[in-house]
């Protein structure tokens, strides 16, 4: 997708720019909803109305009741609130199970629980990138309080079998959380089919504002607020609500819902790029054999350092990622590839291309041309013995 400065952006799994409609909505809410939504006067009631309209927009995308939506400051906060509430909400159960490929914020919440004396286990992942359901089932018993399996992986884009995971959780009486941050707005919501007790979202992943997330809590699921001192968000998260961000988040969710039918066309665009530009260069495409998000391609090219390739493309006005934006600077293979037992090709490391709602065939044609030039240059430098790292 083309940015205002003319550069091309292919890193939408890291973050997205605010849609124009969202920016306008945030500005309107900042003007009209500046008051505290807990105040009883007219200005407060207007702020409350905008807040609740934003909540309804999030609920419409997820398929839940607005009352089940809790606004948070980020998806990281939502993940912590979910996992800590779920684990503490099953007295007598002292085990928590994650997939091995959860987002670092989920693993961070699990570390908090380990400090409290919980035992945390990680379920292995199959070579195509999906959680091993048989191995997961073997980990579940009446000692498990909570399970967390993400809906779609942020690097590979692989969609996880969350409906089956939800059924396993219900059979053993444990609470189920899914981090749906990458999946929201790209594929159908898992709320009705997988029936998680908790589902996390982030505004900035679907062309909404940064600084706001949401935890969707199914009616009856326990919530132990870790921000206390006020009755906001139904007593589940104390803090004066950020009305402009919440309203903009709701608008972003409504826009995302209208664009879900275009997912197949986006996937076809991605597939043509992989077949025409990556496969001829010997790329290993991770997770290709599994259902994936329609916008995501995670790959490695033989003899090409991923960081060097990203830098070379950046110099040509094109932004791509090298994996999770939460791991910038790491030189070890991505954790997800270690769990998949997926070896990198000789001399290669990972690159992620993630498309946006306005990415066009012309954008990908330009990326393909730049990729050909950059790969040729980097492989030539490698043959000459020059350093590949920028």
Q: String of b and e for 298-337 (b: at least 16 CB within 10 Å)? A: bbbbbbbbbbbbbbbbeebebbbbbbbeeeeeeeeebbbb
Q: What pLDDT was estimated at residue 389?
A: 37
Q: What is the pLDDT of residue 383?
A: 55
Cα distance between residue 354 and residue 361, in whole Å:
14
Active site residues: 326
**Residue 333 has what pLDDT?**
84
SS3 labels along 144-208: EEEEECCCECCCCCEECCHHHHHHHHHHHCCEEEEECCCCECCECCCHHHHCCCEEEEEHHHHCC
From the list 79, 91, 82, the residue with the least C-alpha distance to 182 is: 79
Q: What is the DSSP string of 277-342?
A: IIGGGT-EETTTTS-B-TTEEEEE-TT--HHHHHHHHHHTTEE-BSS-GGGTT--SPPHHHHHHT-
Q: Is 124 exposed, middle or buried (0-12, 13-18, 19+ CB in 10 A)?
A: middle
For position 238, what pLDDT does the model report?
94
Residue 388, pLDDT score: 37
- In this structure, are residues 98 and 107 in contact, taking their beta carbons and an 8 Å threshold? yes
Cβ neighbours, 10 Å, residue 386:
9
The pTM for the full model equals 0.94
Q: Go through the domains of the chain in sequence order and give each one's CATH number.
A: 8-17+261-383 (3.90.1150.10), 64-240 (3.40.640.10)
pLDDT, tens digit only, all 390 positions of the chain: 999 999 999 999 999 999 999 999 999 999 999 999 999 999 999 999 999 999 999 999 999 999 999 999 999 999 999 999 999 999 999 999 999 999 999 999 999 999 999 999 999 999 999 999 999 999 999 999 999 999 999 999 999 999 999 999 999 999 999 999 999 999 999 999 999 999 999 999 999 999 999 999 999 999 999 889 889 999 999 999 999 999 999 999 999 999 999 999 999 999 999 999 999 999 999 999 999 999 999 999 999 999 999 999 999 999 999 865 544 445 578 999 999 999 999 999 999 999 999 999 999 999 999 999 999 889 876 555 444 333
Q: By the 8 A CB rule, do 318 and 373 touch?
A: no
Structure confidence at residue 331 (pLDDT)? 57
Alpha helices, H only, 33-71: 42-62
Q: What is the pLDDT of residue 332?
A: 72
């Amino acid at each position: 997708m083309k940015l205002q400065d003319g550069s091309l952006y292919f890193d939408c799994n890291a973050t997205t720019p605010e849609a124009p409609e969202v920016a306008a909505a945030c500005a309107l809410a900042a003007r009209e909803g500046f008051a505290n939504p807990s105040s009883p006067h007219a200005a407060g009631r207007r702020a409350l109305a905008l807040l609740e309209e934003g909540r309804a927009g999030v609920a419409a995308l997820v398929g839940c009741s607005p009352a089940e939506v809790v606004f948070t400051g980020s998806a990281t906060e939502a993940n912590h609130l979910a996992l800590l509430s779920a684990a503490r909400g099953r007295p007598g159960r002292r085990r928590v199970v994650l997939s091995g490929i959860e987002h670092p914020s989920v693993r961070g919440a699990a570390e908090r629980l380990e400090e409290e004396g919980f035992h945390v286990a990680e379920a292995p992942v199959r070579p195509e990138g999906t959680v091993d359901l048989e191995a997961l089932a073997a980990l579940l018993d009446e000692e498990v309080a909570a399970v967390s399996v993400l809906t779609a992986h942020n690097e590979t884009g692989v969609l996880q079998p969350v409906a089956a995971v939800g059924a396993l959780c219900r059979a053993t009486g444990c609470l189920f959380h899914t981090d749906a941050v990458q999946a929201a707005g790209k594929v159908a919501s898992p709320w009705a089919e997988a029936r998680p007790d908790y589902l996390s979202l982030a505004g900035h992943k679907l062309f909404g504002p940064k600084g706001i997330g949401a935890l969707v809590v199914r009616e009856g699921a326990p919530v132990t607020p870790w921000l206390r001192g006020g009755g906001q968000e139904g007593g589940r998260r104390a803090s004066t609500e950020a009305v402009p961000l919440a309203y903009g988040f709701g608008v972003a969710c409504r826009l995302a819902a209208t664009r879900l039918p275009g997912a197949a066309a986006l996937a076809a665009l991605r597939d043509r790029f992989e077949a025409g530009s990556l496969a001829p260069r010997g790329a290993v495409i991770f997770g290709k054999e599994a259902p994936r998000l329609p916008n995501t391609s995670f790959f490695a090219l033989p003899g090409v350092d991923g960081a060097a390739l990203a830098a070379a493309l950046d110099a040509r006005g094109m932004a791509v990622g090298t994996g999770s934006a939460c791991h910038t600077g790491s030189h070890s293979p991505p954790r997800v590839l270690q769990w998949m037992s997926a070896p990198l090709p000789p001399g290669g490391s990972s690159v992620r291309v993630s498309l946006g709602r306005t990415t066009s065939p012309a954008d990908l044609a330009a990326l393909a041309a730049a990729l050909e030039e950059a790969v040729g240059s980097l492989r030539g430098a490698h043959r000459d013995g020059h350093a590949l790292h920028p």
